[in-house]
Amino acid sequence: MALTFAERRQKWDVKLSPFGFISPYFLIFGVFGLFPLLYTAFVSLQKRNLIDAEGAQFIGFGNYEQLLFHDPYFWNSMGNTVSLWLLTTIPQILFALGIAHLLNRRLRGRMFFRMGMILPNITSVAAVTIIFAQLFGRDFGLVNWVLSWFGAGRVDWQAGTASSHTAIAAMVVWRWTGYHALIFLASMQAIPSSMYEAATLDGAKGWQQFWRITVPLLRPQIIFSTVIATTGNMRLLAEPLLFNPGTAAATGGSDRQFQTAAQYLMAGTWKPREPYRIDAAEAKVAELEREHQDVLAADTLSHGQADHREEAGPRAPRTRTCLPGVRLSSGDFGSPGTGLRRLNLPNRPSSFARR
């Protein structure tokens, strides 16, 4: 029996409607996710300036060869990234499990402590990094002050590889442990209490219940938190960048001892550009403006100083170089003072000289 038009439409509607509902996500992902990835892969096969696409030159896998086999800083940054990942991800998960287990018990003020767990996460990363940089200061840091109670000397936390990794990991763990603890806490509350009651009747202690019941049932959440922590810690940028602000910020210390992969990418991408070569006309206008400021400053002097300057004779002409290899003179503007009058400046001879 042939289907009517309405039945066929309903059949196709049931099959195609789900794809229509999820199509906005794939459209947005294609424009803002997939296309940038493919375009970045295409750009990586070229020798080009990111702000000058016209001079691009296709070199194939030359960039990858240079990166993997001829750039030791790349492997140094990858080693630092893996080290920071281990020092941040593992403590985060372990501390989060312990805190969530404590908050899952019947305690006074549980809601207050639960709310406090999320406060480090919503704090500005710049503020957290600046405060921790002060805490781990070499001369007046609170951490070194506490270590001095046990006879330890002053530790320069920014100078060494292990010390800098420890300091950066401390601020990352402090900021994100509460976030994972709330995820584990929500999952713990979904575990039936009858399982713990049955374990208690069987003689299982609290520690045994935690490792035999709680942790196995939290395996999906632990995997989720591990993936989230890994994706965040493998692209650390703000913490190591602000931990040592200054000229060595992008390089991760004077010896690149805590430069991460994100810092390496930033330092290699946004290199200092060569100054633009301003043409002669712009250089002349800029110098004339400076001359005009000199005239205004001279007018503010007292009359006696002006007379003394006239008695001393005319000032010797000065030679200024506006740009490398470029020298300008008043002759470039015609007769002396012509350009000055054109800009409504006092009729004063300019002091340029052409090399």
Please report, for residues 14, 134, 146, 161, 162, the alpha-carbon distance to residue 142 in angstroms, rounded to integers and kept in the order given. 65, 8, 6, 20, 19
Length, in residues, of the chain:
355
Q: How far apart are CA 163 and CA 258, in angstroms?
A: 10
Bigger pLDDT: 313 vs 164: 164
Q: Report residue 46's pLDDT band, with 50, 70 and 90 as the boundaries.
A: confident
pLDDT over 80 (residue 38): yes
Query: CB atoms < 10 A from the CB of 352, how many?
Result: 24
Please name the amino acid found at residue 281.
Answer: A
**What's residue 286's pLDDT?**
55
pLDDT over 90 (residue 337): no
Nearest to 327 by CA among 305, 308, 354: 354
Q: Where are the domains of the chain?
A: 29-70, 71-269, 280-342
Query: In this predicted structure, which of 46-55, 74-83, 146-155 has the lowest mean pLDDT?
Result: 46-55
Give the pLDDT confidence of 102-135 residue by residue, as tens digits.
Answer: 888 877 777 888 888 888 888 888 888 888 888 9
The pLDDT of 202-230, averaged and rounded, is: 90
Q: Report residue 291's pLDDT band, with 50, 70 and 90 as the boundaries.
A: low
Give the pLDDT confidence of 159-198 residue by residue, as tens digits.
Answer: 888 989 999 999 999 999 999 999 999 999 888 888 888 9
Average pLDDT over the chain, rounded to an integer: 77
Nearest to 78 by CA among 267, 262, 266, 270: 262
**What's residue 174's pLDDT?**
92
CATH annotation of 71-269:
1.10.3720.10
Percent of the chain that is helix, strand, coil (3-state, to 5)? 65, 5, 30
% of residues, the chain, pLDDT over 90: 21
What is the phi/psi pair of residue 50, to 5°?
A: -65, -20
Range among 33-42, 98-107, 308-317 rated most confident: 33-42
Give the pLDDT confidence of 63-85 residue by residue, as tens digits.
Answer: 888 888 888 889 999 999 999 99
Strands 321-323 and 326-327 turn out to be antiparallel
pLDDT over 60 (residue 277): no
Bigger pLDDT: 294 vs 323: 294
**What's residue 169's pLDDT?**
92
